[in-house]
């Protein structure tokens, strides 16, 4: 492509900006245990309509993440508590697309 630097380094904007620490990958059993605990903590912080909307969408989101579990990178912030934000990073080099999923708490 004209005007594109061949030596440019690709970076993950979230990782580059916030400097979270990469975590070892979860297996499915570990991830399910983590997400169940996290959902319980998050539901306690939501009220009314927000809680109901979350309940409607979290199962599908969890299934999607489980389907992609082997392709995800996991990052946590400086505070590694049970209620801290976990970033799920999915980068597909073949199509040069990157998705980062962050939890709404953090």
What's the pLDDT score for residue 66? 92
pTM as predicted: 0.64
Burial of 49 (0-12, 13-18, 19+ CB in 10 A): exposed
pLDDT score of 76:
78
Helix axes 48-67, 28-45, angle to 10 degrees: 170
- Closest by CA position to 18, among listed 85, 72, 71, 68: 85
CATH tag for 20-102 (out of 2.170.150.10, 2.40.50.100, 3.90.1150.10, 3.30.70.20): 2.170.150.10
pLDDT tens digit sequence for 28-58: 999 899 889 888 888 898 999 999 998 889 8
Question: Which of the residues in the chain have pLDDT under 50?
Answer: 1, 95-98, 106
């Amino acid at each position: 492509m004209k005007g594109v630097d061949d030596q440019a380094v690709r970076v993950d904007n979230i990782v580059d900006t916030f400097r979270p620490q990469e975590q070892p990958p979860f297996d499915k059993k570990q991830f399910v245990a983590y997400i169940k605990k996290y959902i319980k903590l998050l539901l306690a912080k939501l009220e009314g309509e927000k809680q109901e909307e979350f309940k409607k969408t979290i199962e599908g989101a969890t299934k999607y993440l489980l389907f992609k579990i082997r392709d995800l990178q996991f990052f946590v912030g400086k505070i590694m508590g049970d209620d801290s934000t976990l970033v799920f990073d999915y980068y597909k080099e073949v199509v040069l697309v990157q998705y980062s999923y962050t939890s709404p708490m953090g």
